[in-house]
Homo-oligomer: A and B are copies of this chain.
Amino acid sequence: MSQNTAPETAQQAAQEHGLLRTLVHATYWLDDGLQAYMKKRAGLSLPRAQSMAMIYLTEGIDRPSDLAAKLRVSKQATQQALKALQKKGIIEMMPDPKNGRQKHVVFTEYGRNLGDIAKMGLFELEAQLSRRIGVTKLKNLRTALDADWGEPNGFNAD
């Protein structure tokens, strides 16, 4: 125990374990909302891992390895998500003409439309959230979450 911030007893700690819980519930709220929106507006909703992949794909991250790094999951897990998206006709895999090892993910026309609808869904959900908790809280939420979550947590490193 290298820091002086650990609680002396479990009793003290008992009041402090709500963050993980609320983060998970907030994530579920947003993800469930997105799935409901997609179901209604596009007739198809993607499971969470595939939605997450879509988010980065729409940001231009188009190589499986880069995608895996951004998602913080293994290349294999990423590949399974991509394979599922491919099967649904949302993306295609194209070999890199310059580099024989690499491949690139490209959207189909259908996939691009789906991505656009998803973005609007997330926009709408954040607007709902803004109405629910207020502009200030939402802004604070964004600000607080805008950290480098790739930082080590001190238990792997010390």
B143-A137 in contact (CB<8A): yes
Residue on B nearest A155 in the bound complex, by CB: B36
Main secondary structure of the interface of A (DSSP, over half): helix
A27-B34 in contact (CB<8A): no
Q: How distant is the Cα of A32 from the Cα of B154 in the complex, in angstroms? A: 11
Interfacial residues of chain A within 1-58, with CB under 8 A of chain B in the complex: 3, 5-7, 10, 12-14, 16-34, 36-37, 39-40, 51-52, 55, 58
B144-A132 in contact (CB<8A): no
B116-A10 in contact (CB<8A): yes
| Most B CB within 10 A of own CB, among A12, A120, A153 | A153
**Contact count band on A:** 35 or more
> What mask results when residues 71 to 85 of chain A are scored 1 for a CB within 8 Å of chain B, else 0?
010000000000000
Contact of A123 among B13, B34, B116 (CB under 8 A): B13
B30-A122 in contact (CB<8A): no
How many copies of this chain does the complex contain?
A: 2
Contact of A126 among B19, B72, B154 (CB under 8 A): B19
> What mask results when residues 127 to 158 of chain A are scored 1 for a CB within 8 Å of chain B, else 0?
11101110001101111111101110111100
For A109, what are the chain B residues with a Cβ–Cβ distance below 8 Å? Answer: none
Q: Which 10 pairs from chain A and chain B are nearest by CB? A: A33-B153, A10-B116, A36-B155, A140-B140, A141-B144, A5-B127, A13-B123, A22-B145, A25-B149, A13-B119
